[in-house]
Amino acid sequence: MDRSGPADEAKRGHRVPLCGAALEVLDAARGFGDGNPLVFPMRSGRASSPSTLPKMLRYHKIAAVAHGFRSSFRDEAAEETDHPREVTEAALAHVVQNKVEAYARSDLFERRRRLMDDRAEYLAG
């Protein structure tokens, strides 16, 4: 399977099912809004750039790389859950480049929702 890049994701879109805890954060964030449609804008009011997370990790001296969050998610889903591989790959917005699977057009949204709920429970410990 090939990974998609930002251009591929922009072309096809990617819906993200959120767990209850994430929805609570978004609800709380609404109270801090100043009319900006962005949930967590930069101080300038603009959207964050792709370099924001790596900069934050360095600033807080966290020995991690941004892509590692995706890798950790993939490993945990494979090792700690029974969710099918295609559901995890869809959650990561990976594009399937396999002609045999070319007709699989579903984004597996409800199955990804269950995966995200399980991930939230796992992280809550």
Per-residue pLDDT tens over the stretch 16-73: 899 988 999 888 888 887 888 888 888 888 999 989 999 999 999 999 998 888 899 9
Please report the pLDDT score of residue 117 as a whole number: 92
Please report the pLDDT score of residue 8 as a whole number: 47
Please report the pLDDT score of residue 67 as a whole number: 85
Q: Which of 23, 106, 86, 104 has its CA nearest to residue 115?
A: 86
Q: What percent of the chain has pLDDT over 90?
A: 32
Name the average pLDDT for the chain: 82
